[in-house]
Structure 1
Amino acid sequence: MTRSVVVGVDGSPSSRKAVGTAAREAELRGSGLLLVHAFGRPMPHVPPGGPPWNPGGSGVREMVDGTMAEAEQLVHRVAPGVGIARQVTVGEPLVVLEIASRTASLVVVGHRGLSAFGHLLLGSTAGHLAAHARSPVLVVRGRDEPEGPVLLAVDDSPSCAEAVRFAFAEASLRRAGLLAVHAVREGDADAYDGPADPPFVTRDERRLLAHAEQVIDTVVAGPAERHPEVAVRRLPVVGRVRRALIDASGDAQLMVVGARGRGGFAGLLLGSVSQALLHHAQCPLVVARGPESTR
């Protein structure tokens, strides 16, 4: 049975955008859509008559029902054939979404929100969700209905495999091309493994680019054979990782990155690069996790 797409709902503009994206993703996969709303702490603008952590409280149930009904109407407009389920529960939104991710094909969240979901992808919480979700996580940001290729951030670590698999599958579903990017910094010693290249020798940009392209070729070779319908373009880059990805995202409809990496994308979701992508990527961002990353 096809696993459902899960989306966090709080009634904010960002959440509505996430619901629309999640509906399209569910339609692409031929799956159902689960709308999730969680009460984890007092909500702003709570109507009088009941505590905000009690969905059955007077006024609160009506507000939640209205928010969920609005989300369902949006799904019907965007993807009329998608089946919808609701989950309204008490709990920290991150914990609730992590639990839902265990049986999901994808978790979709907005970049900003009104309630506890509003802080979901700001600061360290982004790393928390990426570290614990059992399915890929799609962060909705950037322009509406982007077009272009699926952008894949390539590194040569084992954890990149799930990102590669997801990116090719998504490109196939979307009937889009795939742009594979690997960045090498000028001081990357991995690109120089011969005795003729001591540390004090001036780096040759052509050799760095050749090394980056070799990494891309090695990583995408197998999936490209399995997906001949996906046109692959390689983009080796010498320079800063975050700038390379943010610039390339301007022409992409989706960016896919692994949960962890080394080489050009070391610490992708552990520090400044993750913050740069979450706040400055120009298209939706997927963090794809492999089995070794969920331990």
Structure 2
Amino acid sequence: MRVNQLLSSAGIEAADAQVLLASVLGVDRSWLLAHATDNVARDRALAFEETCLRRAGGEPVAYILGERSFYGRSFSVTPDVLVPRPATEGLVEAVMRLYKKIVQYEPLRWHTEEVDSGIVAAVLLRERGTLPPLLVDIGTGSGCIAVTLACELPETDVIATDVSSAALDVARGNVERFGVGARVNLRRGSLLQPLAGERRPFILVSNPPYVPEKVDLPADVRREPASAIVAGADGMDVLHPLIREAWNHPSCYGIAVECRAEQVARFPVVSA
């Protein structure tokens, strides 16, 4: 069967079909367009059909491929971790702008930047001054935030935590893939528990679960770890204690989190 025939009969969205066929054939998507009438070997065609069935069943493309691009790097992903999304790239960029002194924020006030429709990166600093060279990524999952910040901000170190040992295994693989093992320290635990006794000043960065229970999620999103997405009736079950614990930690210099825009007004009250 020809390339164009396989794509037209895939039974899934065209963009997904192109990504999956390109992966099966070991080519890029532009090759598919240039070789639309080429014949595809039977074993490759069967492999493509199998991936299409998985996609039609609601499995995320990233899980089928075993990887997802994030900030220009290909990260290993499994069903044990949330699939990295463009909105979270916006959270990473918000932190990078702080460290590169592109923006300066008034202390003790939440500042928000829209990173997707209705989704923001919310940033809070305790005081003005030099930012600490330590970042803490709570709920690291695949490690995409921690690894990206380590790669893009070589003057910083990162502590990356997760309650899931399976997720930390995935993160560890990505840390090793990008050669930042000397600067990214992985720790297991919930919220700020892994930071007990940490005296170095740090900025906390997190993409926590923040989706309210009532939200009807797409089929493929429902295949991702619910604990990394949904957080109670109003989506605040993790955000609220996370922010409270962070701000009460004597070494926390600031906080940057991804959340729904309307949730910022319900954040815990902070003071100097």
TM over 0.5: no
- Scaled to the shorter chain, the TM-score interval is 0.3 to 0.5
TM-score by length of 2: 0.38
TM-score by length of 1: 0.36
